Amino acid sequence: MKKRTGAEIVVEALIKEGIKVIFGYPGGAVIPIYDVLYDTPQIRHILTRHEQAAAHAADGYARATGKVGVCLATSGPGATNLVTGLATAYMDSVPLVAFTGQVPTSMIGNDSFQEANITGITYSITKHNYLVKDIDELPRILKEAFYIASTGRPGPVLVDLPKDIQNSKTDAVYPKEISIRSYRPHYEGNPKQIKLAANIIDKSESPVIYAGGGIISSGASKELYEFAHHNNIPVTTTLMGLGAFPEDDPLSLKMLGMHGTRYANYAITEADLIIAVGARFDDRVTGDVSEFAPRAKIIHIDIDPTAISKSVRVDIPIVGDAKEILPRINALTKGKKREAWHRKIARWKEKYPLKYNNDGKLKPQFVVEKIYELTKGKAIIATEVGQNQMWAAQFYRYTRPRSFISSGGLGTMGYGFPASIGAQLGRPDEVVFDIAGDGSFQMNIQELATVARYNIPVKVAILNNGYLGMVRQWQELFYNRRYSQVELSGSPDFVSIARSYGVKGIRVEKCEQVEPALKEALSTPGPVVIDFRVEPEENVYPMVPAGAALTEMLDGLA
């Protein structure tokens, strides 16, 4: 076989792995790869305006499609600019492969120009990483990288490529299959544990399914729906699980936790059984762990054994894939009615709906409701982080998996806009909105150049309240309104900024302008930025204060 350079092998691997789009920013240490990409029409390279945005765009692409996202950066500062994106993907279990350039192997450790120990830096925020030192090992490493990123509990993998490795040649063949002795994800689940779970479900009078992002990662939404309906069990989801179960279904409790619905939090608290699937009991869900589901036994289904009993003690652990396990439990259960439990939940839903004071002023919740209404619930919603994220989670109704794209675990400001770019490129026939805050949007505002250059039709809805809203809310509620460094005076005119990049910009200041502006944006074939000047001190409710029990919810309307 003809010898190929390392750069050629990298691009060959991308083609063989079915990668159609990559996101990156060139530099001296990756010129050999970019030179090969120049003659590779099968792969579309999107030039972002910052490496962090490349990582977030690859992440958004992966979340929207279920495929591995790919980003590419040069050595040193290019590689370190990927760090926040890698940590974001790691916390939310997103399959991503990042390629970084590195100084030649003979210069590693000499503090060479644009050298950084990126494998050491990213050790704790990647599922695995590699520094390639032998060209003959490169094909195997690349195959392993994509395999590790996409199997088991997904996550980011980084491959660091010294420049001499990119230029060296080998006749080593790209493997068709890979087997790693120390890495063997377990999918089937223990039959004895599955039988125990079925028995306890049949005995339960007031169970709740608590579903997380693992349902979406495993493609188990259909199995979850069938399991919930066969057993007549209500379903609440985490932020990462939004869309895993349709929120217009009578069994839906929507989101639980710090800014979840009252009825979801009450149901969890009074349940006698929690069936946790693909979720990790994070602190934003549990509140005070000692008060979380005090009456309930807990079944925990997760593909990652380290996630089980990590935060909350569980009674029946089942390690495996939800897509495999839920149907097997379903086949053993009898399908109990649980009518009294459903009547109680119906009363909570009637008494405690999600609501806000609709007093004629321009409220951010109203904007989100209008986006839902005009897109008929069929859009992909990406968010930034903070109040905008929570309002998007609460007031848009998610009925499909992979329709909500947000940084959950790390809470990364500046994530939503580049992630929406990746989502739009991954699913070009869908409407994609980035619901943003004026603080978050400025963190990657340079990506307006990216959407303009490639005419990527993302619609950005900025809920512009002039503050770092969520921090301001905490300062209002818990720090006697001592607003320290949260007022965003000096923010730009977003409409003028958008237009300066060649992107349509629209300003909205009144409720009656919301619908016409959204209709104009939806009818525009390219990208649009809408600056909604919303009420400055509107808060997100319900809210469970940090460290409080789920029943100790604040409600600004009470």
Q: How far apart are the first and last CA of the chain?
A: 74
Q: Hey, is 207 helix, strand or coil? A: strand
Q: Does the active-site annotation cover 163? A: yes
Please pick, among 470, 475, 532, 535, the residue that the annotation labels catalytic.
Answer: 470
Cα-flanking dihedrals φ and ψ of residue 454, to 5°? -100, 5
Q: Does the active-site annotation cover 470? A: yes
Other Cβ atoms within 10 Å of 119 Cβ, number: 18
Q: What crossing angle do the helices spanning 262-270 and 339-351 adopt, rounded to 10°?
A: 150
Distance CA 79, CA 89 (A): 15
Q: Does the active-site annotation cover 91? A: no
DSSP 210: E
Q: Hey, is 327 helix, strand or coil? A: helix
Please pick, among 8, 17, 23, 51, the residue that the annotation labels catalytic.
Answer: 51
- State both tokens at 363: 């409220």
Other Cβ atoms within 10 Å of 534 Cβ, number: 26
Q: Given the structure tokens 């980011």, which residue do they identify?
A: 156
Distance CA 23, CA 51 (A): 9
Q: Where are the beta strands (DSSP E) in 232-384?
A: 235-237, 252-255, 273-277, 297-302, 316-319, 380-383
Helices (H), 92-220: 118-121, 138-150, 163-167, 191-203, 213-217
Q: Count CA within 13 A, CB hemisphere, residue 553.
A: 27
User: Residue 198's closest CA among 332, 327, 302, 300?
Assistant: 332
User: Cis omega before residue 95 (within 30°)?
Assistant: no
Q: Does the active-site annotation cover 494? A: no
**Edge-to-edge strands of the sheet including 128-131?**
44-47, 21-25, 69-73, 96-102, 156-162, 128-131
User: Residue 55's closest CA among 446, 421, 498?
Assistant: 421
Please, what sign has the CA dihedral across residues 47, 421, 285, 323? negative
32, 6 Cβ separation under 8 angstroms: yes
How long, in residues, is the chain?
558
- Cα angle vertex 463, ends 462, 467, to 5°? 110
Instruction: Tally DSSP H helices, then E strands, for the chain.
Output: 23, 20
Q: Given the structure tokens 């074939």, which residue do they identify?
A: 525
Q: Does the active-site annotation cover 113? A: yes
Distance CA 24, CA 11 (A): 14
Paired strand residues for 131:
160
Please pick, among 16, 107, 114, 226, the residue that the annotation labels catalytic.
Answer: 114
- State both tokens at 159: 């491959």
Please pick, among 163, 254, 349, 370, the residue that the annotation labels catalytic.
Answer: 163
User: Residue 22's closest CA among 4, 1, 42?
Assistant: 42
Please pick, among 113, 373, 378, 478, the residue that the annotation labels catalytic.
Answer: 113
- Cα angle vertex 315, ends 313, 321, to 5°? 95
Distance CA 510, CA 367 (A): 11
Q: Hey, is 267 helix, strand or coil? A: helix
Active site residues: 51, 113-114, 163, 470
